[in-house]
C-alpha cells in the first residue's frame, strides 16, 4: 500500500528495507521504484520522463556501489563529501560513473567537491558559492548546483529560509562555474503525509514565484525533493529529482537522527 494515497508516509519503514546484495536485487529494486514513480506521475498527469531517480549510496560499501553500477546506475548521491571523495578515488575505473553531493558542505571542503562531483545539491551560502567557484575555476570544471531551502522551519535543517532565496539567486551569476539548476529540500521527517506534503508545496510555490525574477543564466527547472519515505508525495507535488537511498540499497545501520540531527520522532504505532 502506497503511503502517498493514504495519510501516512513510509518514513517508519526505516531500518526495515532489505539489503540489496546482488545485481538482480538492485535491478528489481530500481524497477520497483521506477514503477512507483510512474504511478505517482500518472495520478497527477505528469510524464515519468520528467522525474530523475538519484540513487543515494551513503554509508554503503564500495562493493554495493559496484553492484548498483552493474544494475545500470550511472550517478550516485552521497551526503558526506569525504566519504564520496574516497569512493570516487576507489572507483576511478568506472569512468562513466558520476557523483552528486547532496549534503551540507563546509566551505573548507569546497575544494574536494570541485575536484570530482558533477552535481551539488546543498548550496546554502554565498561564501560556499564563492569557494566552490574559485576551486572549480582552478580545476577547469563546472558544477550543476541546487539551492537548498529549509521548507520545514526546523532549526536543525540546513538551507536558506524561503524569504532569503530571491536575493541569494541574484548574486549567483557572479560565479560562472556554477550552473544553477533548481531548488532542493528535505521535508519534515514525519509519518504524517499532509505535513510532509506542505513542505513540497512550499518549494514548488516558491519556485513559481522566483521564476518571474530569476537572473539570466539561472534555471529553476529542477525541484529535488523526496526520499525513500516520501518520494511519491514529492512527485505528486512536482519533484523532478527524487533522492532514494534505503529503498534501493537497503536500510542504513544508524537511525536517521544520526544523519539529520534533531529529527522529530515518528508517531505511527505498529
Closest to ligand PLP by CB, 166 or 259: 259
DSSP 159-227: SB-GGGHHHHHHHGGG-TTEEEEEEE------SBHHHHHHHHHHHHHHHHHHHTTPPTT----EEE---
Which grid cell sits at 39? Answer: 504511478
- What is the smallest separation between the CB atom of 137 and ligand PLP, expressed in angstroms? 27
38 and 2 in contact (C-beta within 8 Å)? no
Distance CA 35, CA 3 (A): 15
- What is the smallest separation between the CB atom of 148 and ligand PLP, expressed in angstroms? 9
**DSSP character at residue 228:** T
- What is the smallest separation between the CB atom of 93 and ligand PLP, expressed in angstroms? 25
Residue that has been written with the C-alpha cell 505528486 in this structure: 236
Distance CA 151, CA 245 (A): 21
Verify binding: residue 243, ligand PLP, rule CB under 6 A. yes
Verify binding: residue 172, ligand PLP, rule CB under 6 A. no
Verify binding: residue 186, ligand PLP, rule CB under 6 A. yes
Report the residue closest to ligand PLP, judged by CB.
Answer: 245
Q: Which of 203, 245, 250, 263 binds ligand PLP (CB under 6 A)?
A: 245
Distance CA 169, CA 158 (A): 17
80 and 251 in contact (C-beta within 8 Å)? no
- What is the smallest separation between the CB atom of 102 and ligand PLP, expressed in angstroms? 4
Verify binding: residue 79, ligand PLP, rule CB under 6 A. yes
The span of 131-139, 167-175, 201-209, 245-253 binding ligand PLP (CB under 6 A) equals: 245-253
Verify binding: residue 228, ligand PLP, rule CB under 6 A. yes
Give residues 44-73 in contact with ligand PLP (rule: CB under 6 A): 56, 58
Query: Which positions lie near ligand PLP, rule CB under 6 A?
Result: 56, 58, 79, 102-103, 186, 227-229, 243-247, 259
Amino acid at each position: 500500500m502506497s503511503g502517498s494515497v493514504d495519510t501516512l508516509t513510509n518514513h517508519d519503514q526505516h531500518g526495515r528495507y532489505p539489503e540489496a546484495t546482488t545485481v538482480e536485487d538492485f535491478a528489481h529494486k530500481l524497477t520497483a521504484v521506477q514503477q512507483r514513480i510512474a504511478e505517482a506521475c500518472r495520478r497527477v498527469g505528469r510524464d515519468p520522463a520528467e522525474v530523475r531517480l538519484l540513487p543515494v549510496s551513503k554509508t554503503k560499501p564500495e562493493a554495493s556501489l559496484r553492484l548498483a553500477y552493474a544494475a545500470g546506475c550511472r550517478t550516485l548521491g552521497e551526503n558526506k563529501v569525504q566519504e564520496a571523495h574516497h569512493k570516487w578515488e576507489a572507483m576511478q575505473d568506472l569512468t562513466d560513473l558520476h557523483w552528486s553531493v547532496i549534503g551540507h558542505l563546509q566551505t573548507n571542503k569546497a575544494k574536494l567537491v570541485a575536484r570530482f562531483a558533477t552535481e551539488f545539491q546543498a548550496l546554502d551560502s554565498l561564501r560556499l558559492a564563492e569557494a566552490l567557484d574559485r576551486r572549480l575555476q582552478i580545476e577547469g570544471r563546472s558544477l550543476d548546483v541546487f539551492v537548498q531551502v529549509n521548507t520545514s522551519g526546523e532549526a536543525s535543517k540546513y538551507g536558506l529560509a524561503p524569504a532569503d532565496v530571491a536575493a541569494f539567486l541574484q548574486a549567483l551569476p557572479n560565479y560562472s562555474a556554477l550552473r544553477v539548476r533548481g531548488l532542493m529540500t528535505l521535508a519534515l521527517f514525519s509519518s504524517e503525509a499532509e505535513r510532509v506534503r506542505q513542505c513540497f508545496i512550499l518549494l514548488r510555490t516558491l519556485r513559481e514565484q522566483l521564476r518571474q525574477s530569476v537572473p539570466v543564466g539561472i534555471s529553476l527547472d529542477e525541484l529535488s525533493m523526496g526520499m525513500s519515505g516520501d518520494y511519491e508525495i514529492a512527485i505528486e507535488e512536482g519533484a523532478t529529482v527524487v533522492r532514494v537511498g534505503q529503498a534501493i540499497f537497503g536500510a542504513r545501520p544508524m537511525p536517521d537522527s544520526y544523519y539529520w540531527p534533531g529529527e522529530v520522532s515518528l508517531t505511527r504505532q505498529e
